[in-house]
Amino acid sequence: AVGAIGKNSAGNIQPDIGAVYVFTRDNSGDWSQLDFIRAANAGENDQFGFSIALAGDTLAVGAIGKNSDITTDVDVGAVYVFTRDNSGDWSQQDFIRATNARENDQFGFSIALAGDTLAAGAVGKNSDVNADVDVGAVYVFTRDDSGDWSQQDFIRGSNAEENDQFGAPVALSGDTLAVGAVGKNSDLNNDVDVGAVYVFQ
């Protein structure tokens, strides 16, 4: 699965809607395009395809530029989940928002899938305590038997600070979640953007 965040709408009416291309490899090792996927509610500058996670017959796609449907907030972000049927066709299963979505959160900046668990990073999430920006956060969702996803947890770094960008990237394996914070500063000196990784279980 390959994202193309700059893909315009048909006729180039809306720029940077984004799209995802799905390819499969045959027994000879040759790749061919199987599908071309758009969001059902595609909008200008959504950047659909910014992040992708693929596990079996489930595909999760981040759209960090997705605006709020309720307010005028921009770059709130969203995650789309698609499933593949026996014919190899992909269809949208769910549209996921953060429960506490705000402007510039960039929810869906990174995505990880493991079975019926999905982790999504929001690197632009501000602190709830003060005005610190780009602290970052990670949301964890689980899928029920009906195929619906619901938020299970909201994760912050234990020593969160401004510009940590916690949630870039995320990795999920079984019951272990690893979260990168590319902007984390050094605790020992004044070095900035040293980076760090947090591990959760």
Please provide the average confidence, as pLDDT, over all residues in the chain: 94
One-letter identity of residue 189: N
Q: What is the pTM of this model?
A: 0.93
In three-state secondary structure terms, 10 is helix
Q: Which among 102, 93, 82 is positioned nearest to 37, based on CA atoms?
A: 82
- Reported as a single tens digit per residue, the pLDDT across 114-160 is 999 999 999 999 998 777 889 999 999 999 999 999 999 999 999 99
Sheet of 31-37, strand order: 2-4, 19-25, 31-37
Q: Which pLDDT score is estimated for 95?
A: 97
- Reported as a single tens digit per residue, the pLDDT across 158-192 is 999 999 999 999 999 999 999 999 999 998 877 88
Q: What values do phi and psi take at 75, rounded to 5?
A: 55, 35
For range 93-98, the mean pLDDT: 96
